[in-house]
Amino acid sequence: MEKIRTLIVDDEARIRRGIERLVHSCGDDWEVVATASDGREALDYFLQTDGAIDLLITDVKMPEMDGLTLIKEAKKQYSFYPLLISGYDDFTYLQTALREGALDYLLKPVDREQFRMRMAEIRTIISNGRYQSLKRGEMVRESEQLKKTRQTQTLSYITSMGIDMATLGYWVDEFPKGSYVLLSIRMDTLPVKTRSYKPNDWKAYFYALENIMGELLDNQFRQTDQLGWSWRGAESDFWMLLYSPEPDFDWGTAAYDLAVNIRSAIQTYTPFSVSVAYGDGLQDLYVLPEAKRQAMALMNYRFLHGGNQVFRPESLNEEGKSSALNDKDLSLLAQKLKRSVEQGNPEEAADNAKLIFDQWDRLDSPANLHKAVQNAIILIHSTGLESRSGIEDSASLEDELHKVERASNLHELKMCVKQLMDRVIGDIRKARESSNKKPVEQAKGWINDHLDQDVTIKKIADQVYMNPTYFSEVFKMQTGDTVLDYLTRQRIERAKELLADPRLKLQDVCCRIGYQDVKYFSRLFKNWTGQTPSKFREQTIFQGGDGYNEPE
């Protein structure tokens, strides 16, 4: 058990020593940490030790400051148990002592046995009080932790895409009044070696990143009255909300120092680098979505200045200063690029792409750059749609625009455009080269070349640039087979050839014709041939290896 720290106060040294001996005689649970000759001296000791006292044994009548005043003054700041010892048998003193929280009022001379019995009772009272105080502290800490968890979840919802804030009600009431600033932390271009990372690797790294940011946030505000929340956003995004109780707090230095520390720590302890962006401080948390938009707009300056930096309003010029360039110039260049893609001319398209990329290099507005890239992506994608007679997957344009949103520098933006341009030109040239072939014959050829893959009607229809439903009707009309029946027949015929090789296991045969489940393949094979694969193999090998009798 932790010792009970006792302070003894009496203006007579002989009595102080006597009480100290009495306390020590009560057992090892007691520790006399100090003695004092009057209330003023004792109060100074309280201040020096920050109230590290469990039991105060004090006389009533003393010079400088009496015992009752000492108890009253010390109780204003500290929690302890008082015990009074006095030579005055005065009911008024007794009433006042009990009112101030005294455990007892003993008269001098003190009876030793009575004192020990009372100290045993006091030990129990103090021990129970410590336990209750400990439990209250644990409950308070748990309550605070739960509150912070709820707050963090709310902030995560608000910074998510498409959240209906009306469903959150008066969520700002959960947060203290004061000044806030929102930080966006986004990973820069990933190192090449991360391409080999497995899901568990990413899980471990994201856990490490969250811990690094949480620890930095705690260290930043440990000795202050400021607070902070951190959470992970979409994909490789992280967010922090910083708080100060001062409504007009200047976040310039505090937010910048934390941003620099985050950037430095992540670069030191992980293979990654990050950029950090934050906008102006805010007093009303209902405008947090606007703070998010401002931070994301500042983050787009990575396209112009590169990553691994801190972007803040005062360090950057505002948009709209792209001298000789305007929307019309960029639009004309994008139209020229579109025409060269339509013509299926990779050389001319590359030249036009270089022209437009050079113009992008001259832009100093992330918003204008973002708009120009999106326009180029949409024009090139529409060219791919126009060149086909079928219906393109409606989600593919969204995928291309999402790549633009996730790009971390200008080079990646250019690659988004170049890769789409090359792919569409390839599709156009491929379509023209095969235009003289009948679609059904072309589809059959493609099916036979891809029997070992996951083949769907849509994938087949895409090769002949037809709508899947329309293609299925044409295929059945011209062949008499459904597409799936034709695919299955070709796979069964290929399986017969492979079964003639005794070195191939049945699982190997399945994989080479696009099936993973051996039982399913065996059942399908028997339905189509009347024999199990094993029986067919046995018969084929017995007859000479090709499934037919050798000529005599």
Q: Determine contact, residues 180/281, Cβ cutoff 8 Å.
A: yes
Judging by DSSP bridges, how do beta strands 4-9 and 30-36 pair with one another? parallel
51 lies in the same domain as 120:
yes
pLDDT at 100 over 70: no
Give the CA dihedral 51, 53, 59, 63, nearest 10 degrees: -30
Same domain as 411, residue 445: no
Phi-psi region of 399 (alpha: psi -120 to 50; beta: other; left: phi over 0): alpha
Last residue of a domain, one of 433, 463, 495: 433
Residue 151 domain flag:
no
pLDDT at position 321: 46
Q: Cα torsion at 258, 263, 266, 267 (round to 10°)?
A: -150
Q: Domain of 466: which CATH number?
A: 1.10.10.60
In a domain, 481, yes or no: yes
Domain of 216, CATH number, reads 3.30.70.270
pLDDT digits (tens, 9 = 90+) for 250-295: 898 899 999 999 999 999 999 999 999 999 999 888 888 889 989 9
* 195-199, 432-436, 486-490: the lowest-pLDDT one: 432-436
| CA 60 to centroid of chain Cα atoms | 62
**C-beta atoms surrounding 326 within 10 Å:** 10
Cα–Cα distance, 58 to 10 (Å, whole number): 6
* Each residue's pLDDT tens digit, 178-229: 999 999 999 998 888 888 889 898 999 999 999 999 999 988 887 788 889 9
Q: Are residues 455 and 518 in the same domain?
A: yes
Question: Residue 241 region, left (φ>0) first, then alpha (ψ -120 to 50), else beta?
Answer: beta
Q: What is the pLDDT of residue 318?
A: 47
106 vs 59, which has greater pLDDT? Answer: 59
Identify whether 209 is part of a domain: yes
Q: Kindly state whether residue 157 falls inside one of the protein's structural domains.
A: no
Total residues belonging to the chain: 552
Does any domain span residue 332? yes
Same-domain pairing of 128 and 97: yes
Residue 423 CB neighbours (<10 A): 14
- What CA–CA distance (Å, rounded) separates 401 from 337? 18
Residues 178 and 299 in one domain: yes
CB atoms near residue 449 (< 10 Å):
9
* Domain at 77, CATH number: 3.40.50.2300
Residue 145 lies in a domain: no
Residue 434: its pLDDT value, please?
61
Dist. CA 33–CA 41, nearest whole Å: 14
Find the DSSP H helices in 407-482: 410-433, 439-449, 457-463, 468-479
Average pLDDT over the chain reads: 83
Q: Is pLDDT of 249 > 50?
A: yes
Quick one: pLDDT band at residue 397, thresholds 50, 70, 90?
confident
**Among 433, 451, 468, residue at a domain's last position:** 433
CB atoms within 10 A of CB 170: 7
> Which residues pair with residue 185 across a beta bridge?
238, 276
In this prediction, residue 363 carries a pLDDT of 84
Nearest by Cα to 335 from 321, 360, 320, 355: 355
393 pLDDT above the threshold of 50: no
Residue by residue, DSSP assigns 193-236 as GGGG--HHHHHHHHHHHHHHHHHHHHHHHTTSS-EEEEEE-STT
Task: Specify if 92 maps to a domain.
Answer: yes
Domain that holds residue 490: 439-543
Tell me: do 173 and 309 sit in the same domain: yes
Do residue 426 and residue 447 come from a single domain?
no
429 and 443 fall within a common domain:
no
Place of tokens 């110039």: 329
| H and E: helices and strands count for the chain | 21, 10
Residues 243 and 262 in one domain: yes
- Distance separating the N- and C-terminal Cα atoms of the chain: 103
Q: Do 367 and 319 contact (CB within 8 A), yes or no?
A: yes
Q: Which two tokens stand for residue 214?
A: 């949480």
DSSP state of 550: P
Percent of the chain at pLDDT > 90 equals: 28
pLDDT of residue 36: 93
384 part of a folded domain: yes
Spatial CB neighbours of 289, under 8 Å, sequence gap ≥ 6:
158, 165
Residues 424 and 447 in one domain: no
Same domain assignment for residues 107 and 177: no
Q: Which two tokens stand for residue 519?
A: 């039982």
Are residues 402 and 484 both part of a single domain? no
Domain boundary among 262, 289, 315: 315
Query: Which one is predicted more confidently, 37 or 545?
Result: 37
- Give the number of domains in the chain: 4
